[in-house]
């Protein structure tokens, strides 16, 4: 398996080009030789100038250069051409990853509105990557030093999220999280499963989903030898995990998992796609059009995503096949 990582530049009008350039500029020569940026060279050069950093983008293999219609585009402007370019950077990186040219994709932020205006109708990176790779499933895991969360559902309405919290789906999420943590060095991950209703429904007083749908999934996971617990009331489970009681929390919906992670690790949490046929990590922030091109975007989250990608590459083949 290749130890090279591929960084996709993200929306060319956002901060993706800057944080990509800055991260690569700070790498050792050895790490830089094991890195590719999938993007547009002219845009990356414009970002390098805005940052005032010393990075030779002409080095062989550093940039996989793809064109942008009318590019380079203005900073900070919503543009379907940017959405289309972001899609093509990702599509090319996926195909090269599937061909074994590198081991993990690290994605800079895309703009969902620009993506959809360009005719690419996805709810975000995870859905797009699942479609491009024809993966049977994909789960969003947010990883920080003291708290890790995997989601049963993400970019859907709360009503739809409750509908999706079936026993089968919750069990599949538990298993995906368990496999991922084992791969990254946990011998027997301790997994807490959050309840979906206040106080896990209080014995049916506030709903029966926890008793009828979530508890059976936890029981099934334990029957398979997984160290799973729950459902546990969501108003305490994240604190318990953050304090060291659990290695991973299964969140039932987007905000249930995102709010605690962004409270305790806003600048450092890494977004990881679990159960794809390829490996992918990402920054956990948006395109920040308001500061794009000013040379002030914080690239710390990109460094964290790259470090996690290196860990995955070192960890060997993923469950889906190639890592």
In this structure, are 133 and 166 located in the same domain? no
Query: In the listed set 243, 264, 285, which residue is the last one of a domain according to the structure?
Result: 264
pLDDT for 323: 27
Evaluate the omega torsion of the peptide bond into residue 231 and state whether it is cis, within 30 degrees of 0: yes
Tokens found for residue 111? 């703009």
How sure is the predictor about 1, in pLDDT bands with cuts at 50, 70 and 90?
A: low
Radius of gyration of the chain (CA): 20
How sure is the predictor about 309, in pLDDT bands with cuts at 50, 70 and 90?
A: very high
Which carries the bigger pLDDT value, residue 59 or residue 84?
84
Span 215-230, average pLDDT: 98
How sure is the predictor about 124, in pLDDT bands with cuts at 50, 70 and 90?
A: confident
pTM for this predicted structure? 0.90
- Judge contact between 71 and 12, C-beta under 8 A: yes
CA proximity to 240, closest of 232, 219, 186, 255: 232
From residue 278, alpha-carbon distances to 51, 124, 248, 275 in Å are: 32, 17, 22, 8
pLDDT in tens, 173-207: 999 999 999 999 999 999 999 999 999 999 999 99
In this structure, are 257 and 277 located in the same domain? no
Give me the percent of the chain exceeding a pLDDT of 70.
Answer: 97
In this structure, are 260 and 301 located in the same domain? no
In this structure, are 161 and 237 located in the same domain? yes
From residue 82, alpha-carbon distances to 43, 74, 89, 129, 315 in Å are: 11, 10, 11, 18, 34
- The domain in which residue 75 lies consists of 1-141+267-323
Torsion of Cα atoms, 191 then 197 then 203 then 206, to 10°: 180
In this structure, are 104 and 168 located in the same domain? no
Torsional class of 64: left (φ above 0), alpha (ψ -120 to 50), beta (otherwise): beta
Q: Residue 54: pLDDT above 50?
A: yes
In this structure, are 106 and 18 located in the same domain? yes
Span 37-42, average pLDDT: 97
In this structure, are 93 and 151 located in the same domain? no
In this structure, are 106 and 254 located in the same domain? no
Residue 235: give its domain's CATH number.
Answer: 3.40.718.10
Q: Rounded distance, CA 282 to CA 284, Å? A: 6
Which carries the bigger pLDDT value, residue 126 or residue 237?
237
Q: Residue 128: pLDDT above 80?
A: yes
Span 93-122, average pLDDT: 96
Query: In the listed set 238, 264, 290, which residue is the last one of a domain according to the structure?
Result: 264
From residue 273, alpha-carbon distances to 21, 176, 188, 252 in Å are: 23, 10, 21, 16
In this structure, are 274 and 260 located in the same domain? no
Domain count of the fold of the chain: 2
- Least confident among 77-86, 128-137, 249-258, 313-322: 313-322
In this structure, are 82 and 5 located in the same domain? yes
Burial class (CB in 10 A: 0-12, 13-18, 19+), 116: middle
Q: Residue 8: pLDDT above 80?
A: yes
CA proximity to 2, closest of 88, 128, 105, 132: 105
In this structure, are 36 and 103 located in the same domain? yes
Q: Starting at the edge strand that comes first in sequence, how are the strands of the sheet with 248-251 ordered?
A: 63-65, 35-39, 5-8, 104-107, 280-282, 270-274, 139-143, 148-151, 248-251, 190-194, 227-232
In this structure, are 2 and 126 located in the same domain? yes
Query: In the listed set 241, 264, 287, which residue is the last one of a domain according to the structure?
Result: 264
């Amino acid at each position: 398996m290749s130890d090279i990582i591929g960084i996709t530049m993200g929306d060319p009008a956002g901060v993706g080009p800057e944080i990509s350039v800055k991260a690569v500029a700070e790498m050792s020569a050895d790490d830089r030789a094991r890195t590719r940026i999938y993007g547009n060279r002219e845009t990356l050069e414009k970002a390098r100038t805005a940052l005032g950093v010393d990075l030779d983008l002409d080095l062989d293999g550093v940039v996989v250069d793809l064109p942008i219609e009318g590019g380079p585009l203005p900073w900070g402007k919503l543009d379907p051409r940017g959405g289309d370019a972001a899609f093509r950077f990702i599509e090319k990186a996926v195909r090269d990853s599937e061909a074994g040219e590198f081991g993990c994709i690290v994605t800079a932020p895309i703009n969902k509105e620009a993506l959809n205006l360009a005719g690419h109708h996805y709810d975000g990176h995870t859905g797009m990557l699942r479609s491009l790779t024809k993966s049977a499933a994909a789960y969003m895991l947010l990883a920080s030093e003291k708290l890790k969360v995997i989601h049963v559902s993400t970019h859907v309405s709360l009503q739809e999220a409750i509908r999706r919290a079936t026993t089968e789906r919750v069990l599949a999420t538990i298993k995906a999280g368990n496999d991922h943590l084992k791969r990254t060095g946990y011998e027997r991950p301790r997994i807490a499963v959050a309840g979906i209703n206040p106080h896990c429904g209080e014995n049916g007083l506030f709903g029966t989903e926890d008793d009828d749908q979530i508890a059976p999934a936890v029981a099934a996971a334990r029957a398979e030898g997984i160290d799973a617990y729950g459902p546990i009331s969501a108003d305490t489970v994240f604190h318990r995990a953050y304090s060291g009681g659990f290695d991973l929390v299964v969140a039932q919906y987007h905000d249930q998992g995102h709010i605690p992670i962004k409270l305790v690790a806003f600048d450092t949490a890494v977004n990881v796609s679990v159960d794809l046929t390829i490996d992918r990590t990402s920054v956990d922030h948006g395109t920040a059009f308001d500061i794009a091109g000013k040379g002030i975007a914080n690239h710390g989250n990109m460094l964290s995503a790259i470090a996690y990608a290196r860990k995955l590459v070192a960890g060997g083949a993923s469950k889906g096949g190639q890592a």
